[in-house]
Amino acid sequence: MDVVETKEAPAAIGPYSQGVVAGGLLFASGQISLDPTTGELVGDTAAEQAEQVMRNVGALLAAAGTDFEHVAKATCFLADLGDFAAVNEVYARSFGAHLPARSAVQVAGLPKGALVEVEVVAEVPGA
């Protein structure tokens, strides 16, 4: 296994890695809307937070040598499922025509009071 670490995405806020590549796949830890430089949440709405979340996911994908087109599975965690449409719009822009498998669930709470968290599993070409 290879640990993925990049300053372009927020540092882990607990005892875990930003991501791990194993068996040709990136298993990326869930990303909330933390600014990688300040460690502070970005955005007041779910849509605003989703923009930063997807930037963070993109940074992890790039650090592992892959991209959104190689994502096989995404899981979206929302503090309020009523925000699904707004988050889905941001999510869709990140993936374009590529449609990975996905789950979206409402949760009781997310780290630091975030409204959105996204984790992905992606193929890493050549790994």
Q: pLDDT value at position 13? A: 85
Q: pLDDT value at position 127? A: 82
35: region left, alpha or beta (phi > 0 left; psi from -120 to 50 alpha): beta
Q: pLDDT value at position 67? A: 98
- Asked if 55 contacts 118 with a C-beta cutoff of 8 angstroms, the reply is no
Q: pLDDT value at position 55? A: 98
pTM, full prediction: 0.97
CB within 8 Å of 126: residues ≥ 6 apart: 65
- Mean pLDDT of successive 10-residue stretches along the chain, which has 127 residues: 97 94 98 97 98 98 98 98 98 96 98 97 94
